[in-house]
């Protein structure tokens, strides 16, 4: 009976998930879906924004609109309401579009709160994301604003001289699964409207699905982290691999001018060339930009190789590198890992602290339903862990989300927790 009581309390607590304003994390299986999030800054207005909405509606597309508070009035609020009813997302771009990186905490709060409350009064929902004016961000802003920050790949459409065709080409060339595209629907920006007439059908023909930011995070199984501004959202690929070994533990801090990276985090002796299975390398770091892995071979000024491998996944805390991306560099030069003088993990351009580098190898996994802790058994501890993860408690972690997918629908949610509860009750009887 005591176990029943614990599980009942657990179930009651997790129901609160549906009331949380944060973006929920949902883990899902590998997918060939191509998702892209179109975002528009500096609205709303009754001239450009409705034209953008007309095109989105024509191509069955959803987008996210980052509003400036001073642009919201009785007329433009109706446009905002239409966007919301279409399934688009209404987000926060400050009240006055001033440089908030030089503001005090109180000034920042006022800028954000004005938009939050106005949007809520029209749509019944608070904005879920924030984009900084001019993309200028300070630590005070990170500490004060409690919703995730978004940057995105720029279309360059704030440049009045850039033609509609050039804008379209920039967006189409930037498109990739998980990308966030930054455009503007400010009053009179008709060239972007024209560009959309090319962008939407072209990307749709390439198999892209246009989603809101919330949906992008959900379907990638990613919970937004603090102190980071997203330009893309990718699935944490290391979760599909098994931990194989630690390659570095410590604390190294430096910028791109520091020569110590050559000796601080070297992977030359890690045996990467002898691993036949697929693998990923996960780096734990702290920086506004992701780390890189550099393959460096030096013989002379005429025979020098310096190639940077960029992570396929990063979120301001973790970055994952694929074996295939490293191998592609080596293959392009007809070389092997043994030919390299340095295989080093380092920053690309800004100061960075790296604390750990781990190797994960692809292998066949055996799943024990419910055992999200990977301790070889399914018990109340697994249900508690899943509850904390669903409620997004700090430091909560699932060692194997697949084991928690009790409903076998490739999504972790309250229904899996309910199924866990039923199974635990059955075991206790």
Do residues 335 and 305 lie in contact, with contact meaning Cβ atoms separated by under 8 Å?
A: yes
The topology under which CATH files domain 242-361 is Jelly Rolls (2.60.120)
Cβ count within 10 A of residue 231: 15
Q: Are 198 and 168 spatial neighbours (Cβ–Cβ below 8 Å)?
A: yes
Residue spans of beta strands (DSSP E) within 128-241: 149-150, 153-154, 179-184, 208-210, 229-230
Q: What is the DSSP letter of 17?
A: G
CATH topology of domain 32-230: TIM Barrel (3.20.20)
* Residue 252, Cβ density class (10 Å: 0-12 exposed, 13-18 middle, ≥19 buried): buried
- The residues near 274 (Cβ < 8 Å, ≥ 6 apart) are none
Angle, helices 48-58 vs 74-85, to 10°: value is: 10
CA distance 37 to 210: 6
Q: How many whole angstroms separate alpha carbon 205 and alpha carbon 202?
A: 5
Which long-range CB contacts under 8 A does 296-305 form with residues at least 24 apart? 296/262, 296/340, 296/341, 296/342, 296/343, 296/344, 297/335, 297/339, 297/340, 297/341, 298/341, 305/333, 305/335, 305/340
Element counts in the chain: helices (H) and strands (E)? 13, 16
**Among all residues, which ones are annotated catalytic?**
41, 184
Beta carbons within 8 Å of 194's beta carbon, 6+ residues apart: 164
Q: Which residue ranges make up each domain of the chain?
A: 32-230, 242-361, 370-428
Predicted confidence pLDDT, tens digits, the chain (429 residues): 444 444 444 444 443 333 333 444 444 444 478 999 999 999 999 999 999 999 999 999 999 999 999 999 999 999 999 999 999 999 999 999 999 999 999 999 999 999 999 999 999 999 999 999 999 999 999 999 999 999 999 999 999 999 999 999 999 999 999 999 999 999 999 999 999 999 999 999 999 999 999 999 999 989 998 899 999 999 888 877 889 999 999 999 999 999 999 999 999 999 999 999 999 999 999 998 999 999 999 877 777 889 999 999 999 999 999 999 999 999 999 999 999 999 999 999 999 999 999 999 987 555 678 888 888 788 998 888 888 888 877 667 777 777 888 877 667 888 888 888 888 888 877
**Is the model's pTM score more than 0.75?**
no
Q: Write out the two tokens for 190.
A: 């008709």
Task: Determine the CATH number of domain 370-428.
Answer: 1.10.1330.10
106 burial (CB, 10 Å; 0-12 / 13-18 / 19+) is: exposed
* Residue found by looking up tokens 């939407």 in the block: 200
Q: Which residues are CB-neighbours of 415 under 8 A, at least 6 positions away? A: 407
Residue 301 per-residue DSSP state: T
């Amino acid at each position: 009976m005591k176990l029943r009581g614990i599980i009942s309390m657990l179930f009651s607590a997790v129901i609160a998930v549906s009331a949380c304003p944060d973006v929920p994390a949902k883990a899902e299986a590998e997918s060939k879906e191509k998702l892209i999030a179109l975002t528009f800054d500096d609205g709303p207005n009754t001239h450009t924004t409705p034209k953008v909405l007309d095109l989105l509606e024509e191509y069955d597309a959803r987008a996210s609109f980052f509003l400036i508070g001073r642009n919201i009035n009785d007329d433009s609020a109706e446009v905002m309401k239409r966007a919301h009813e279409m399934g688009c997302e209404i987000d926060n771009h400050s009240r006055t579009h001033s440089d908030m990186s030089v503001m005090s905490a109180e000034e920042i709060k006022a800028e954000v709160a004005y938009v939050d409350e106005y949007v809520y009064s029209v749509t019944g929902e608070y904005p879920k994301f924030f984009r900084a004016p001019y993309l200028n961000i300070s630590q005070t802003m990170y500490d004060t604003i409690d919703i995730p920050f978004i940057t995105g790949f720029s279309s360059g459409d704030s440049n009045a001289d850039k033609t509609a065709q050039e804008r379209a080409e920039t967006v189409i060339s930037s498109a990739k699964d998980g990308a966030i595209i930054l455009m503007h629907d400010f009053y009179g920006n008709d060239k972007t409207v024209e560009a959309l007439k090319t962008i939407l059908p072209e990307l749709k023909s390439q198999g892209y699905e246009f989603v809101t930011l919330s949906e992008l995070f959900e379907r990638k199984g990613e919970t937004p982290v603090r102190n980071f501004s997203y330009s893309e959202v990718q699935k944490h690929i290391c979760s599909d691999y098994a931990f194989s070994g630690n390659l570095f533990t410590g604390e190294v801090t430096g910028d791109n001018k520091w020569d110590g990276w050559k000796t601080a985090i070297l992977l030359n002796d890690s045996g990467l060339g002898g691993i036949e299975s697929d693998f990923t390398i996960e780096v734990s770091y702290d920086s506004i930009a992701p780390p890189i892995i550099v393959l460096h071979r030096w013989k002379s000024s005429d025979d020098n190789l310096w190639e940077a491998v960029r992570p396929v996944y990063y979120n301001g805390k973790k970055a994952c590198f694929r074996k295939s991306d490293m191998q592609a560099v080596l293959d392009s030069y007809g070389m092997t890992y043994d030919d390299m003088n340095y295989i080093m993990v380092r920053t690309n351009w800004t100061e960075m602290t790296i604390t750990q580098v781990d190797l994960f190898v692809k292998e066949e996994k055996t799943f024990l339903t419910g055992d999200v802790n990977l301790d070889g058994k399914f018990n109340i501890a697994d249900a508690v862990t899943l509850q904390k993860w669903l409620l997004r408690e700090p430091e909560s972690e699932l060692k194997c989300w697949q084991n928690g997918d009790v409903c076998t629908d490739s999504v972790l949610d309250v229904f899996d927790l309910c199924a866990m509860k039923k199974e635990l009750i059955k075991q206790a009887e």
